[in-house]
Chains A and B, each alone.
Chain A
Amino acid sequence: MASQSQIFAGAFADPVFSAQSVFKSLMDGFARPGQIMRLEASSVPPSPMGAAAGAVALTLCDHDTPVWLTPALAKSAVPQWIAFHTGATVTDSKTDARFAIIEKGAPVPGFDQFSLGTQEYPDRSTTLVIEIEALSGGVPLTARGPGIKDDVTIAVRGLPEVFLDFWSANRAIFPRGIDLVLTSGDSVLCLPRTTRIARQEV
Chain B
Amino acid sequence: MDAKLKQESPPDMARKECMRLLARASFEELNAAWEALADKPDVSPVRGPETGLVMVRGRIGGGGDAFNLGEATVSRATVRLSTGEIGHGQLLGTDKQRARLAAIFDALFQRDANRAAVEALHRQIASRIDTEDRRTAEETAATRVDFFTMVRGDD
- Which residue numbers of A lie inside 8 Å of B, CB to CB? 1, 4, 8-9, 11, 79-80, 83-85, 89-90
Contact = CB atoms under 8 A, between A and B. Distances in A.
A55 to B, nearest CB: 16
Contacts of A89: 1-2
B78 interface: yes
Nearest to B85: A4
Contact of A90 (B1, B47, B78, B86): B1
A37 B83 CA distance: 40
A4 B5 contact: no
Contact of A80 (B5, B46, B78, B86): B5
Given A1-B8, A84-B47, A8 B78 contact: yes
Contact of A85 (B2, B8, B47, B80): B47
A159 B5 CA distance: 33
Contacts of A4: 86
Given A1-B8, A8-B78, A8-B80, A83 B1 contact: yes
8 contacts: A1-B9, A8-B46, A8-B78, A79-B1, A84-B47, A84-B78, A89-B1, A89-B2
Contacts of B80: 8
Contacts of A11: 47
Contacts of B5: 80
A79 B8 CA distance: 14
Nearest to B4: A79
Interface of B: 1-2, 5, 8-9, 46-47, 78, 80, 86
Contacts of A83: 1
Contacts of B9: 1
Contacts of A8: 46-47, 78, 80, 86
A11 B50 CA distance: 15
Contacts of A80: 5
Instruction: With a 10 A CB-CB cut-off, give which of B1, B5, B80 has the most chain A CB atoms.
Output: B1
A1 B9 CA distance: 9
A149 B86 CA distance: 51
Nearest to A16: B50
Nearest to B2: A89
Given A8-B47, A84-B47, 16 more contacts: A1-B8, A1-B9, A4-B86, A8-B78, A8-B80, A8-B86, A9-B46, A11-B47, A79-B1, A80-B5, A83-B1, A84-B78, A85-B47, A89-B1, A89-B2, A90-B1
Contacts of A79: 1
Contacts of A85: 47
A80 B78 CA distance: 15
B142 to A, nearest CB: 44
A89 B5 CA distance: 12
Contacts of A84: 47, 78
Nearest to A85: B47
Contacts of B46: 8-9
A14 B8 CA distance: 30
Nearest to A83: B1
